Structure 1
Amino acid sequence: MTSDDTIEIEDLQKRLASKFEMKDLGNLTYFLRVEVTRYKHDLFLSQMKHVMDLLEDTGMFDCKPNETPIVENHKLEVYVDHVPTNKERYHRLVERLNYLSLTRPDIAYAVSVSSQFIHSPSEDHMVTVMRILSYLKSAHRRSLLFKINEHLDPKSYTGTYYAITNRRYILGYFTFIGGNLVMWHSKKQNVVSRSSVESEYREIVQGVCEILWLRWLLAEIGFRSNAATKLHCDSQSTFEIANNPV
C-alpha cells in the first residue's frame, strides 16, 4: 500500500465518521464466520472454515466430490406421493447454506431451489442439498476477490431461466462496482409470466432498482458517478420495450 492509498483511506474514514458513528477496530481478519485475507492490493473474502465445519457436521467430509452444485435441467417439485425427510434437519442445512452464499455466488441458484421446499421437504430434496455439500467438497477454497480499480462505476447483468415444472421463471442478476462483484440474486417469480420477454422485463426493472439504490449509496458516502450505469440483458425484444416510451 502506497502513501497515496493511505491518505485516501484516511480521508474516506473521516468522511464516513462525519456521517455515521464509527470506531476504528484495525485491520479486519475474521467477522461472523467470514475470513478476510489481504494480499498486496487484493482483498479475499471466504468462508472456508464454515464450509469445513458444515461438511464435518453432516458427515460429508470424506464424500465423493461433485463438479456442479445441482443437476442440470432438474425437475424438483412437491409431489403428493413423495417420501418425506427430516424437516428440522433439512431446514437447518438450508439455513447454513443460505448464509454460506454470502461469499459463494456459485451456489446461489442451487440454494434458492432448495429453499423453495422447506415447508415440505422430501428425500429427493435432501439429495439435492447433499449434492451442494459434495460440490463444496471439491470447491471449498473458493472466495470472493476484490481488486483496486480506477473507477467505482456500477454494472449489472440480468437473465431468466424457465422452470418447466411450474411455468414460473427463475430471475437472476449480479452487479459489479468498480469491476468487483458485490450483489447477486436468484429467485422464482411469484406470478406466471405470459412470455419470456415479460419475465426478462421484470428482471430488468429489478436490476434498475438495485442500480439506483447502489448509486444513491455511493453518492451518500462521497463517490458520486456522473457516468451512465450499464445494464446488460440478452433479450433484444426486452430492450426494445424498455427503450420505447410509448
Structure 2
Amino acid sequence: MDDLIITGALTEDINGFKHEMAARFRMNDLSALSYYLGIEVRQGKEELMLGQSTYASKLLEQSGMAECKPCMTPMDERLKLTKASTTAKVDAIFYRSIIDGLRYLVHIRPDIAFAMSYVSRFMEDPKRIIGLR
C-alpha cells in the first residue's frame, strides 16, 4: 500500500489524473489531505496552511518543557554554550532525539532555525553543556 498526494491548480486536471490512475490501479480516494507525516494540512478556497502543533506539543512533552511559557525569541541571543562545563551530564541519546525532532519541526517553523542550528553543534558529545538543565 502506498499513499499518493495529488496537487494541482485546476480541479479538472486533478480529477482527470485520478480517473487515469483509477483505470490502471486499484485505489481509494481519501478526499482532501488533512494530516501527513506529522504535518497538519488545512485547505481553504484560496490558501493551504501547514502546521505541526500536535508534533510540537509531543516534542515539548518529551523534553519536559510542556509547562514552559512561550516566548517570541526561541533562544537568548547572548547565550554561550561550551563543552567545558562542570554541570551535570546530559543524556546524549535523549539530547540527539530532541535535536532530531527540532530538525523536523524547523520545516514549518523557520523561526527556530538559528537556535536549532546552534544546539546541533553539540550533538557529537553533549555530555556537559553550560546552559542546559
Q: TM-score, normalised by structure 1?
A: 0.41
Deviation for aligned residue 1:125: 5.4
- Specify the alignment match of 1:98 in structure 2: 103
1:37-186 alignment runs, 5 A limit: 37-79=42-84, 81-83=85-87, 84-121=89-126, 122-124=128-130, 126=132
Residues 67 and 118 of structure 1, relative CA distance in 2, 3 Å threshold: same
* 1:25, distance to aligned residue in structure 2 (A): 4.6
Count of residue pairs brought into register by the alignment: 116
More relative contact order, 1 or 2 (CA 8 Å, 6+ apart) = 2
* Separation of aligned partners in 1, 2:115 and 2:121: 10
The alpha carbon displacement at 1:95 in A equals 1.2
Give the TM-score normalised by structure 2: 0.70
Give matches, 1:184-195, under 5 Å: none
CA distance in 2, matches of 1:99, 1:112: 12
Q: Mind listing any 5+ residue stretches in structure 1 that lack a counterpart?
A: 128-246
Shift, 1:63, TM fit: 1.6
Match of 2:34 in 1: 29
Q: Which has the higher strand share?
A: 1
1:78-128 CA-to-partner distances (Å, cap 9, x unmatched) read 33x45332212211111111111121111112111111101121343535x
Does the 8 Å contact 1:33/1:47 carry over to 2? Answer: yes
Residues 39 and 51 of structure 2 are in contact (CA less than 8 Å); yes or no, is this contact kept in structure 1? yes
Instruction: Find the aligned partners of 1:100 and 1:74 in 2 and give their Cα distance.
Output: 22
> 2:130 corresponds to which letter in structure 1?
D
Question: Which position in structure 2 is the counterpart of 1:154?
Answer: none
The answer to whether the 8 A contact 2:79-2:131 is kept is: no
Is the 2:43–2:49 contact (alpha carbons within 8 Å) kept by the matching residues of 1?
Answer: yes
SS of residue matched to 2:119: helix
Percent identity, please.
35
